Amino acid sequence: MTRKLYILNGSNLNMLGAREPHLYGSTTLKDIEQNCLALADALEFDCVFRQTNSESELIDWIQEAFLQDAALIINPAGFSFGRIPVLDAVKLIRRPVVELHITNIHRRSEEYRHSTISVAATAVICGAGANGYLLAIRAIDDLWGNQT
């Protein structure tokens, strides 16, 4: 059985490396993608890595992950806060779901502290920087093995 993993990224993450480097660091999303694909391959995942600034496109991709019986790592970015349609799509996923944030959202201003997506996630990783993606892949690998 091929294990499928979708790593989906929300709004403005295409600007990593240029956007608020004091918060997000200098690593680009392309750098993160290359590192993720290498680790996913080593752990024998068939991995899809995508980014969008469109909520509807993100929902379509989450539904695609559901239809592929894939695990999901999602950095919803700005779609984290009050986005019920994204939450409803994430609830479809039967495999492990890791919600990921590069910054520690709990140390940020109030509008960034409460992700609606967290209630549907198997686990949440925040504040580990770009390395959080690799931690999330390892978590998915472990959680997949523990699924009944």
Proportion of the chain in helix, strand, coil states, percent, rounded to 5: 50, 20, 30
Annotated binding-site positions for substrate:
75, 88, 102-103
73 backbone dihedrals φ, ψ, rounded to 5°: -110, 125
Residue 87 CA to residue 82 CA, distance in Å, equals: 9
Annotated catalytic, 24?
Answer: yes
Residue 83 CA to residue 126 CA, distance in Å, equals: 19
Q: Which of 24, 106, 112, 133 is catalytic?
A: 24
- Asked whether the beta carbons of 93 and 143 are under 8 A apart, the reply is no
Q: Which of 6, 101, 106, 112 is catalytic?
A: 101
What positions carry a catalytic annotation?
24, 101
